[in-house]
Chains A and B, each alone.
Chain A
Amino acid sequence: MFGRDSRRERLAVPVLAASRRLPVVLFMSISLIFVLLDKAEADAFDEAREAITDVTTPIFETLSPPVMAVREFFGRVFNIFEVYRENERLREENRELLAWKDAALKMEHRLTRLEALMNVQLEPSVGYVTGRVISDTGGPFVRMFIVNAGKRDGVRDNQAVIDEDGLVGRILGAGHKSSRVLLLSDLNSRVPVLVEPSNYRAVLIGDNERDPKLEFLSSAAKVQVGDRVVTSGHDGQMPPGLPVGRVSEVGKNGEIRVQTFSRGDHTEAVRMLSYKFAEPDVLDTPDRAADVSVSEGESPDDGAGE
């Protein structure tokens, strides 16, 4: 029963197992070293991420439309049952909106008159690029998706991303023809906001929960459930006044959460906003002149931009 062969086999098994285990342990160690490197240098792998996103974009552009079409079909089927109620709701809303339109037109008229009186410098208009969402969030602790618009279309890092309901997030990394969008609920998302109507300053911080939380709010600030939250533009990246969401929860321990207007479940197309802050004209001119004379050949925008 226990011949020489079987003994040799019993010896061979652990040796074989060890020879298989060694590379696994080696590669696991390398993986952990990568994690540590990523922790030490946050943008160490950004170029690789952008390159791989660009490479896989054609695959997702092929795979996504049929899936989206099926989703849309089922969405429509379910919508049929809602048509009557939806119609009633829209009619009601339309009635209200007409009153608002009237008010807005009056305000606009007053505003242009006052601006003309005060000689206000108008901010440059906000440009936008539209992109289609071609991938979903993958990891359980990352809220991110990929859009099929990149640097060649004018998308840049940190641009605000909106859908028809409000702010979705910002551009995390713009590749050549695709970009990664970081959602408001992601762990790395930080957006300076204002809480209306008193315009309290705060920062909207994602913690991987559905509703991000408000922090760095002054202790004197009185925030109630239902208060509207908009971007403040204090980061110098996003246009001020973009609708973000409503305060949904004010906890006893001071934790305030915001339900975002954008629910992220039907964001098939999103817009990336390019926005440049108005620079004060009068102060800017001598600076630029100095810059041009100091840095030879470089574009004057590089020096004066920040």
Chain B
Amino acid sequence: MALASSDNLRKYFWTAFPSLSTLFCVLLSLVPFGLSSTILAPPNFGLIAIFLWTLSRPDLLPSSIVFLIGLLQDLLWGGPFGLWAFVFLAGYGLTLSQRTFLIGREFGFTWVGFGLVVVISSLLAWVVTMLFHGQWLAPYPAIVQGVLSAALYPLFARVTPWFVVRIAREV
């Protein structure tokens, strides 16, 4: 049993890897790159991770984890508590429902798919925030965040297959 424990640990790590990497992406969005002062909002890295893992390994990223990571983002980002949990789950549900349609297509196709998920997520975040505060808000910070997220998507999409192969081998 003692001999097997390090193997087990490795297995647990790779099983949890989609959740851990999504968590890391949420933290990454708060690292002070100096984006928020000049262009008003950093990319929503968490949403990129959720989209990619929902396509490749939805069994390792259950909705409960998406919910918890969303709540963490809410605590860290400020604003209405529950907003990003709601938006993440909406993006997750949408991706899950279109998964068979998106999977196995060429890169550009899934990129457009992610673009649509970003548009709907940003729209939701914008509307819920306006309802919460009861006032009109200029939408451009959400647009900037959405465009940045979509622009950085290829970078994350390129490294994900490597991890997917690794997980398939280890788990």
Contacts and interface: CB of A to CB of B under 8 A. Distances in A.
B90 to A, nearest CB: 7
A34, A53, A63, A134 — which one has the most chain B CB atoms within 10 A of its CB? Answer: A34
Contacts of A32: 82, 86
Contacts of A67: 31-33
A28 B89 contact: yes
Interface stretch (B3-11, B64-72, B103-111): B64-72
B60 to A, nearest CB: 14
A285 interface: no
A136 B34 contact: yes
B142 A140 contact: yes
A56 interface: yes
Interface stretch (A1-9, A141-149, A248-256): A141-149
Contacts of A48: 75, 81
B41 interface: yes
Interface residues of B, number: 58
B129 interface: yes
Contacts of A25: 93
Contact of B141 (A24, A56, A141): A141
A136 B142 contact: no
B132 to A, nearest CB: 6
Given A24-B89, A34-B81, A17 B97 contact: yes
A142 B40 CA distance: 10
Contacts of B137: 141, 187, 207-208
By DSSP majority rule, is chain B's interface helix, strand, loop, or mixed? helix
B80 interface: yes
A262 B65 CA distance: 39
B31 to A, nearest CB: 5
Contact of B129 (A17, A64, A141): A141
Interface string B84-114: 1110011011001100000000000000000
B21 interface: no
A138 B29 contact: yes
Interface string A1-39: 000000000000000010011011101101111110111
Interface in A44-71: 44-45, 48-49, 52-53, 56, 59-60, 63-64, 67-68, 71
Interface in B18-56: 27-38, 40-42
B72 A52 contact: yes
Contact of B93 (A24, A133, A187, A264): A24
Contacts of B92: 24
Interface in A188-225: 207-210
Contacts of A288: none
A30 B83 CA distance: 11
A37 B81 CA distance: 8
A117 B84 CA distance: 61
B132 A39 contact: yes
Contact of A140 (B67, B73, B145): B145
B158 interface: no
B79 interface: yes
A27 B66 contact: yes
Nearest to B125: A140
27 contacts: A17-B97, A20-B63, A21-B96, A23-B62, A24-B93, A24-B96, A27-B66, A31-B83, A35-B132, A38-B82, A39-B80, A44-B81, A45-B81, A52-B76, A56-B27, A67-B33, A71-B34, A136-B42, A137-B37, A137-B42, A138-B29, A138-B78, A140-B41, A140-B141, A140-B144, A207-B137, A265-B38
The 7 A-B residue pairs whose C-beta atoms are closest, nearest first, are: A34-B82, A138-B77, A140-B141, A265-B37, A31-B86, A137-B36, A31-B85
